[in-house]
Structure 1
């Protein structure tokens, strides 16, 4: 029995490479003959004209012999002739020695099925399903299910016919292609064969658009410039290297007032209407608006909110927010690390600290708590008393001065300045100096922005500050700083410039690894599965809330980002705590030496 294209109903087992014409007929062959092409694969290749796919790879199992064939489909346009190139190669042994059953289970992991769901679809016990998962991970050398799934997507280790219900695979390229083939084959046989329109010549590949909601004016605009510069530098380098799979990358930036939920909503709605391929942002008061936009549009979203509340939001509903990633560890360790740092300074004996009192002065910020409750426990255990002083509403210019006055009314060894914004940190440090208080100023994040030192001048000397994501002073970090300085005429800050650069490079890596750039789930799977080492450390999103893994000083910094503690010394940023990335030691500020 033969098909209209000339292929037999069974597969000969021979390799083949053949053109499938726009009218569905088989054309020229590079390997094998028309009779070597199984009709099922002929039909799948013909259906590719009904999709927007440019390529697809999978492993096909012949229905009678159960032989495996490694299949590659590529849409081509050569000399004005449009066709699909269909290639098949016999498979003697799957990678890692996978069995056919393990290949089926691996295919089901790609779409996120649990062991129980795998067992139900295949008619096996849950224990057997778990054993298959363990064995396939060992054979592929992948440490997690998501890493195995990513390997499957990257290499076409997907089993066709698809195991289990077809609905599971509706979001995958191969699932859409098989659905198109099934629909094509289901046309009533009594109808006259309609003329299949010739596909249009492929248009030039459109550019990939990164949507970015960043503060270019208003609150946080000093930091916003760092973010846009880091993003721009990464895009320029990516495009100079040929783009992503031959497509240029472009940024669509929307200015956002980070303290206004109305402004945040307007920015994200504008980006969504513009049809961006991925969403990004810095830190926002109404951060959940970005999460909801990503969930509604299906577009992957990478933000830098440093928020334990947003981490919990994703963890509690991965089905809805599974494409949302936080590119830095959450804020929940800031306060306890402040206490532990002061304990280490006291124990080193370089400073005869007269007070056992620590103070945290904090302005409430949506979704941020800095881990103060845990810090109280740590302080009590390490022999400190810990007070918390709130600052009034945003926009109150004297609020920080009053709060710092209250903080040092009684002697204090150090005061933690709990705000991400340069304006707040400048006011707080200034107020501390004006009162002549013998307390160490310990800030979070804000001194990473160059404007902090520019505005404070000599008063910035000796300030200690911490960040969950900071640019290292190692070789990659220094090389990035040189390129940034050459491009923009000023040195980068020590956090968000590098973070924005790394985020864009990580996005490009995920795009490059996915056959279908519109497959948001495949992109999310790759982001989860593969750690990436950038200038701000290692981004490892394989965590319950899809937040970049952070570690303390005893953890493995090669797999995560340790919280870094810097000190301004002689006008330079010196890393005084951060495992192997430390570049100097704590230095007692001059105003405390005089005391």
Structure 2
């Protein structure tokens, strides 16, 4: 034997061909794969963009792990289960399919609502790591750890979208780039529990902060096909700050295109989360410039985050989503660390205990779920609960972006900023 390492192509994951070192590694190639169940949709009317990002980010991690020799001498395989994330019954069926496949762990971007699927998973109790930024899921873990101790919310909860809002406003005003024309805030809120919780927490934080006032709250109902009535009301109130508390990218793109044709002059417009999904920029083009959004989990623009962004874009050209691409990438590496520490992926109880006890640093920041909620700690702290931290390296940052020149640029918090807020096209 000369010592030369040749390479051989094997097919793993979701059909992607990957190269693996071949040094008499027939045992690796023939060994039973470790199975990562990924309930994620590519067909549902809502959620396919985020879920597709999650599948792609997972694929990048799976291929890297296998190229490096796998986990405990075994290849890792992604098992994708298509389902409707807005349907409780479909969500339950997706988890049941993972159990039938005897997966070693589950990685899910989100389900709305999350509890029905969690109930099904409790019959199996493999690690269930999800990104449903929904406090009701982590409250269930705290209330019944015997039933849900295998469930981890690897983001902070949606309550932080509301609680952090006044901090961002203060930062935008103090750092320059935005001078509020008045101190009024107009909230446009959708009716699902997720957006209602965000609105409630925003109102709570705004009242506590005392620097702005809620001028009006306008209700909308999914699906929103025409924003003309809402825009007329926005112009009537003429608030300096507008919150569109909705999360569906295609509908927010429709809002953005209608708004720029007849805007509320000099108002700062925040579109909650939806613009993070790649279809928003694809649908809006230049009309998306100037709008702001935030996420409680997303790929940082630091050295680690930029390296991931570069390789992801090389693998998947086009507009890159900044949220579930990184989330999907981080989860397999988190599990890899746990599986290797425990020595056997089938020791579910030990693996779950290791995940809880050991923080993990990924491309989306610092994951620390060692608390009764098993929810990732949130940065920055604003004093609303014990799951917030005052140091970036102790929690996962919620960051705010503004779309500038058809690109997402981080404008808050200071530790992650790429640039400051700039005038929107409808500002004089």
Q: Is TM (by shorter chain) over 0.5?
A: yes
1:293 alignment partner, one of 105, 120, 144: 120
2:401 alignment partner, one of 558, 563, 566: 566
Write the deviation string for residues 352-404 of structure 1: whole angstroms up to 9, x where unpaired: 42222112222122455444344334323333221322212x23423x44334
1:217 alignment partner, one of 8, 27, 43: 43
The answer on whether the counterparts of 1:405 and 1:435 sit within 8 Å (CA) in structure 2 is: no
| CA separation of 1:571 and 1:329: change in aligned 2, threshold 3 A | same
Partner of 2:192, secondary structure, is: coil
The answer on whether the counterparts of 2:38 and 2:80 sit within 8 Å (CA) in structure 1 is: yes
2:155 alignment partner, one of 328, 350, 354: 328
The answer on whether the counterparts of 2:173 and 2:180 sit within 8 Å (CA) in structure 1 is: yes
Write the deviation string for residues 327-374 of structure 1: whole angstroms up to 9, x where unpaired: 100010212322332233344564442222112222122455444344
Deviation for aligned residue 1:431: 3.4
The answer on whether the counterparts of 2:291 and 2:403 sit within 8 Å (CA) in structure 1 is: yes
The answer on whether the counterparts of 1:208 and 1:249 sit within 8 Å (CA) in structure 2 is: yes
The answer on whether the counterparts of 2:191 and 2:220 sit within 8 Å (CA) in structure 1 is: yes
1:207 alignment partner, one of 26, 33, 44: 33
Q: Does residue 238 of the first structure (1) align with residue 65 of the second (2)?
A: yes
Q: Does residue 505 of the first structure (1) align with residue 333 of the second (2)?
A: yes
Q: How does 1:122-141 map to 2 (within 5 A)?
A: none
State the distance in 1 between where 2:414 and 2:179 align: 25
Deviation for aligned residue 1:297: 1.3
TM-score by length of 2: 0.86
Deviation for aligned residue 1:524: 0.7
State the distance in 1 between where 2:406 and 2:281 align: 8
State the distance in 2 between where 1:207 and 1:378 align: 48
What corresponds to 1:458 in structure 2? 286
1:582 alignment partner, one of 417, 422, 425: 417
Write the deviation string for residues 146-204 of structure 1: whole angstroms up to 9, x where unpaired: xxxxxxxxxxxxxxxxxxxxxxxxxxxxxxxxxxxxxxxxxxxxxxxxxxxxxxxxx95
Deviation for aligned residue 1:231: 0.5
State the distance in 2 between where 1:309 and 1:403 align: 30
Deviation for aligned residue 1:520: 0.7
Aligned residues: 391
Write the deviation string for residues 246-278 of structure 1: whole angstroms up to 9, x where unpaired: 111111111122222232222222222121111
What corresponds to 2:11 in structure 1? none
Compare CA radii of gyration and give the structure with the larger one: 1
What corresponds to 1:197 in structure 2? none
Deviation for aligned residue 1:280: 1.9
| CA separation of 1:303 and 1:522: change in aligned 2, threshold 3 A | same
Deviation for aligned residue 1:430: 2.6
Partner of 1:210, secondary structure, is: strand
Kindly indicate whether structure 1 or structure 2 has the higher relative contact order, using CA contacts under 8 Å at least 6 residues apart.
2
Q: How does 1:146-225 map to 2 (within 5 A)?
A: 205-218=31-44, 219-225=46-52
TM-score by length of 1: 0.63
The answer on whether the counterparts of 2:361 and 2:367 sit within 8 Å (CA) in structure 1 is: yes
**RMSD over aligned Cα atoms:** 2.2
Q: How does 1:98-497 map to 2 (within 5 A)?
A: 205-218=31-44, 219-348=46-175, 350-367=177-194, 369-380=196-207, 381-386=209-214, 387-392=216-221, 394-398=222-226, 400-438=227-265, 439-490=267-318, 492-497=320-325
State the distance in 1 between where 2:287 and 2:377 align: 34
| CA separation of 1:467 and 1:360: change in aligned 2, threshold 3 A | same
| CA separation of 1:490 and 1:551: change in aligned 2, threshold 3 A | same
